[in-house]
Amino acid sequence: AEDTTELIFKKFGLVIQKEDDYAHVLAVRPDSPADKNGIHHGDIIRQLNRVSTLRLNMYEIRRLFSIQEATFSIILSYDRFRD
């Protein structure tokens, strides 16, 4: 079975990590679905398919991504902070 972290990167082009609060984008693969939809390194993913990532652990976040494997479709709500 494929690791869900690898699946998220291969299918969506994202490397994410759960910090103290929300999920954070650590990397975005160029020309990936995430890149083409404007997701950037450092973005904070606040919602995943309308579910807040605040109270989700990393296992639950990966599971939400893996459920979307068949459709390659996911709804993200995120914030971007610039210096």
Instruction: Using the predicted structure, report yes or no on whether residue 10 has a pLDDT greater than 50.
Output: yes
- pLDDT tens digits, residue range 19-77? 778 888 999 999 998 899 889 999 988 888 788 889 899 888 888 877 655 454 566 67
Is 42:34 a contact under the CB 8 Å cutoff?
no
Tokens of 23: 């999920």
Partner residues linked to 23 by β-bridges: 18, 45
Question: Can you give the pLDDT at residue 73?
Answer: 55
